[in-house]
Amino acid sequence: MSSGKSMEHFITSYAELKSGKKSPRKYLRDVALTGLSWAADKKYLRKPRVQFIYLHHLFKDEEAGLDALMKRLSEEHEFISYADAINKVISGTIDKPYITFSADDGFRNNLAVAEILNRYNAKACFFINPGMIGVTDLSRIKQYCKDQLHFPPVEFLNWDEVAQLQQWGHEIGSHTMMHMNIAAATLTQITDDLGETYKILNDRCGGVHHFAYPYGRFFHFSVVGREAVFNAGFTSCATAERGCHINPVAPMRSEELCIRRDNTVLGWDMAHIMYFLITNAKNATINNNFYPLGFK
């Protein structure tokens, strides 16, 4: 547990994160999204598909939002594990609306994500950076959050807490040792890093299958990076590009699957979260399952 003294250095609420960030432009975007979300047709939530929701943080003032979202989504969706979600897509056996969850960066408040998911018997994959697990040194945390995450300082999980997530039935995946931008790294750096995270997670967690590359947009990745992921032993690779998955025309190889995930911030209005999910459900195409040209 953290001492009260150290807590004051860490950001602990979404309100704190947002304070000072409210611009007129943001306000107008919020108003526009509210309008759009009223118009979004909820029938698309009943479309057979696999939608990957992913989070980073869950501060105290966001916990009720996640609980409400889970309750809302349970009306039409079956929650499945990350591994099952991937299997449904590659085998082309999506027969109803499915949702799976993941969270990146290994913040300590991911424990609260798991606790709320547990209430709904939902399983997630937590993508962690082994180089930051158990780090409590404040100056290291501050530097890492600033340089790698472009985020204020937060607490990170320790290995006992990672084990707790696994005991609850959640999966652990790799997000590189220290949040590497793969597009800016050499092949040797990528290979060494992926080999190291694979070994650490395999030893610590009794097996590891999934990988999500940091920053998440296509321009943060590369063809050689993708090859290195599978050569290291991982059997899935996730982006943070929006979109969801419908059945492919024929079963796919797991290396071919380009996992798309919908970034979700629980501090947003529920209507806005639902707008993104409905729009991406509506717009899902077979092509979403594959990497764009240049990544094949």
Give the footprint of Zn ion on this chain (CB under 5 A): 104-105, 214
For Zn ion, the closer of residues 214 and 248 by Cβ is 214
For Zn ion, the closer of residues 213 and 276 by Cβ is 213
For Zn ion, the closer of residues 151 and 230 by Cβ is 151
Shortest separation between residue 282's beta carbon and Zn ion, angstroms: 27
- Separation of alpha carbons 73 and 190, rounded Å: 37
Contact 174, 127 (CB under 8 A): yes
User: In this structure, what are the phi and psi dihedrals at residue 245, rounded to the nearest 5 degrees?
Assistant: -115, 135
For Zn ion, the closer of residues 99 and 145 by Cβ is 145
Among candidate residues 100, 124, 86, 80, the one with its CA nearest the CA of residue 277: 100
- Separation of alpha carbons 174 and 196, rounded Å: 10
- Separation of alpha carbons 236 and 84, rounded Å: 12
For Zn ion, the closer of residues 105 and 262 by Cβ is 105
Rounded to the nearest 10°, the torsion over CA 17, 28, 25, 107 is 20
Chain centroid offset of residue 22 CA: 25
Shortest separation between residue 148's beta carbon and Zn ion, angstroms: 8
Shortest separation between residue 176's beta carbon and Zn ion, angstroms: 9
Residue number with the shortest CB distance to Zn ion? 104
Shortest separation between residue 45's beta carbon and Zn ion, angstroms: 27
For Zn ion, the closer of residues 80 and 125 by Cβ is 125
| Crossing angle between the packed helical segments 63-73 and 270-282, to the nearest 10 degrees | 40
Give the chain's end-to-end CA distance (angstroms, integer): 45
Shortest separation between residue 105's beta carbon and Zn ion, angstroms: 4
For Zn ion, the closer of residues 240 and 244 by Cβ is 240
Q: What is the largest CA-CA distance in the chain?
A: 57
Shortest separation between residue 86's beta carbon and Zn ion, angstroms: 19
- Separation of alpha carbons 43 and 41, rounded Å: 5
Shortest separation between residue 285's beta carbon and Zn ion, angstroms: 26
H-run or E-run covering 16: helix 14-18
